[in-house]
Amino acid sequence: MSVLQVDVWRGGESGSFQRFEVPRLESQTVLDVVTHIQRVLDPTLSYRFACRVGMCGSCAMTVNGRARWTCRTHVAEVVAGGALEIAPLRNLPVIKDLVTDMREFFDKWAAARGQFRPSASRKDDFARVEPDSPRRQLVDAGIECIGCGVCYAACDVVSWNPEYLGPAALNRAWTLVNDVRDGARDERLAAVAGDAGCHACHTHMSCTERCPKKISPTAAIAGLKRATLGAALKGKA
Amino acid sequence: MRNDWRARSHAGWWAFLVHRVSGILLTLFLPLHFLALGLALEGEAALDAALRWTEQPLVKAAEVVLVVLLAAHAAGGIRLLMLEFLPWREWHKTLLAVAGGVTLAVGVGFLLNLV
């Protein structure tokens, strides 16, 4: 049986990598490797996961330098010379080992007006949205986000400007801008048009490159750039 | 903690780097360009001396680099405008390849005195 050499981040913002030897198994995921370490080798290792099937968005880590969802990343895809380096997500405060504080990530969803604001009341009839209407298609392109933080960790603009709302929050805003039932379009565009909003994006496309759900936040941000420009020309934002 | 080169090694990030570096170098060149043109105000002799200086082989070689930088920055800028202001489609790597091709063609064309 072959053995994986796994370097795992231990500590908080400052710390170091600790080497573990983990048996290599068939169809093994990176999350399996971390779980083996915690259950068999060192129970003090902290990490996060819940669903194990790519739905909950809680197990993202930096694997060999790149942000990934670990539950659906096979070791075979990422192993380099029989070795793995597993670290917490970048651009977020490290609480301990592989666990980051996601607070600022989700606070930025709220700052980007990520909440749906209905334009109708419960007394009105159901809204009818044709599945193949252009705006619904734009919503579909971004709605499957699981909030894992991979795009946020991959984004260098977040590193350079900590106020930057980031790809996930802007993607969320764009899905709502295209929601025909929503009544807060102007406020939302104003919220994402500032220095820390969509215009801060440098189109590195790291978010699009790394999103495990194959969403393109860059597309959403480009849409917001056009929409905010349109609003500005109309004197709204 | 921040990302290192392993996270950045993909086409979009390299395109950004080329755009940023060419932009900075062109910005540094512009004042020198205007300074040289400004010599015309000091008379024919001063400008001619400057123009003769640019005939040196090393300066000629630098001129090719300058043209490539300009082509890369212009093609890269048009690529960005097309990507972001036209309706979104999955063509960013195609646009990158075209921008790279245009840059190369302009560079080679200039080197061969085609333009």
Dump pLDDT digits (tens) for A59-99: 999 999 999 999 999 999 999 999 999 999 999 999 999 99
CB contact B88 to A (< 8 Å): yes
CB contact B85 to A (< 8 Å): yes
Q: What does the pLDDT read at residue B113?
A: 83
Interchain contact, B8 vs A204, CB within 8 Å: yes
**CATH code for the domain of A146:** 1.10.1060.10
pLDDT at A1 over 90: no
pLDDT at A34 over 80: yes
Is residue A30 located within the same domain as residue A82? yes
Angstrom distance (rounded) from CA B115 to CA B109: 6
**In chain A, whose CA is at the least distance from the CA of B18?**
A204
Q: What does the pLDDT read at residue A148?
A: 98
Q: What does the pLDDT read at residue B115?
A: 56
pLDDT at B30 over 80: yes
Q: How confident is the model at residue B86 (pLDDT cuts 50, 70, 90)?
A: very high
Minimal CA separation from B105 to chain A, in Å: 25
Which of the listed residues A100, A124, A143 is the one where a domain comes to its end?
A100
- Residue A72: Cβ-neighbour burial (10 angstroms; 0-12, 13-18, 19+): middle
Q: SS3 for A152?
A: helix
Cβ atoms < 10 Å from Cβ of B41? 8
Which of the listed residues A81, A100, A119 is the one where a domain comes to its end?
A100
The tens digit of pLDDT for each residue in B36-63 reads 999 989 889 999 999 999 899 999 999 9
Angstrom distance (rounded) from CA A34 to CA B2: 22
User: In chain A, how many domains are there?
Assistant: 2
Q: What does the pLDDT read at residue A236?
A: 77
Asked if the interface predicted TM-score (ipTM) of this complex is over 0.90, the answer is no
Interchain contact, A219 vs B10, CB within 8 Å: no
Is residue A130 located within the same domain as residue A96? no
pLDDT at A235 over 90: no
* Mean pLDDT value of segment B97-106: 97
Cβ atoms < 10 Å from Cβ of A171? 28
In this prediction, what percent of chain A has a pLDDT beyond 70?
99
- Residues A195, A117: contact at Cβ < 8 Å? no
Is residue A229 located within the same domain as residue A120? yes
Residues in B closer than 8 angstroms to A204, CB to CB, are 8, 12-13, 16
Which of the listed residues A100, A115, A138 is the one where a domain comes to its end?
A100
List the one residue out of A89, A90, A63, A67 whose CA is nearest residue A76: A63
Angstrom distance (rounded) from CA A97 to CA A89: 10
The tens digit of pLDDT for each residue in A166-181 reads 999 999 999 999 999 9
The tens digit of pLDDT for each residue in A118-170 reads 999 999 999 999 999 999 999 999 999 999 999 999 999 999 999 999 999 99
**CATH code for the domain of A54:** 3.10.20.30
Q: How confident is the model at residue B2 (pLDDT cuts 50, 70, 90)?
A: confident
Angstrom distance (rounded) from CA A167 to CA A109: 10
- Residue-number span of the structural domain to which A65 is assigned: 3-100
pLDDT at A237 over 80: no
Q: Which domains does chain B have, with CATH numbers?
A: 5-111 (1.20.1300.10)
- Mutation target among B1, B89, B92 for the A interface, most CBs of A within 10 A: B1
Residue B40 DSSP label: G
Q: What does the pLDDT read at residue A210?
A: 98
List the strands of the sheet with A15-23, edge to edge.
Answer: A15-23, A3-11, A83-87, A60-63, A66-69
The tens digit of pLDDT for each residue in A191-217 reads 999 999 999 999 999 999 999 999 999
Residues in A closer than 8 angstroms to B81, CB to CB, are none
* Mean pLDDT value of segment A220-235: 95
Is residue A197 located within the same domain as residue A119? yes
Is residue A108 located within the same domain as residue A222? yes
CB contact B39 to A (< 8 Å): no
Residues in A closer than 8 angstroms to B10, CB to CB, are 205-206, 209
In this prediction, what percent of chain B has a pLDDT beyond 90?
83
pLDDT at A18 over 70: yes
In this prediction, what percent of chain A has a pLDDT beyond 90?
98
- Residues A114, A174: contact at Cβ < 8 Å? no
Q: How confident is the model at residue B1 (pLDDT cuts 50, 70, 90)?
A: confident
Is residue A51 located within the same domain as residue A116? no
Minimal CA separation from A215 to chain B, in Å: 11
Is residue A75 located within the same domain as residue A186? no
Is residue A38 located within the same domain as residue A119? no
Is residue A42 located within the same domain as residue A156? no
Is residue A171 located within the same domain as residue A84? no
List the one residue out of A83, A34, A40 whose CA is nearest residue A60: A34
pLDDT at A109 over 90: yes
Residues in B closer than 8 angstroms to A206, CB to CB, are 3, 7-8, 10, 12-13
Is residue A146 located within the same domain as residue A66? no
Is residue A182 located within the same domain as residue A212? yes
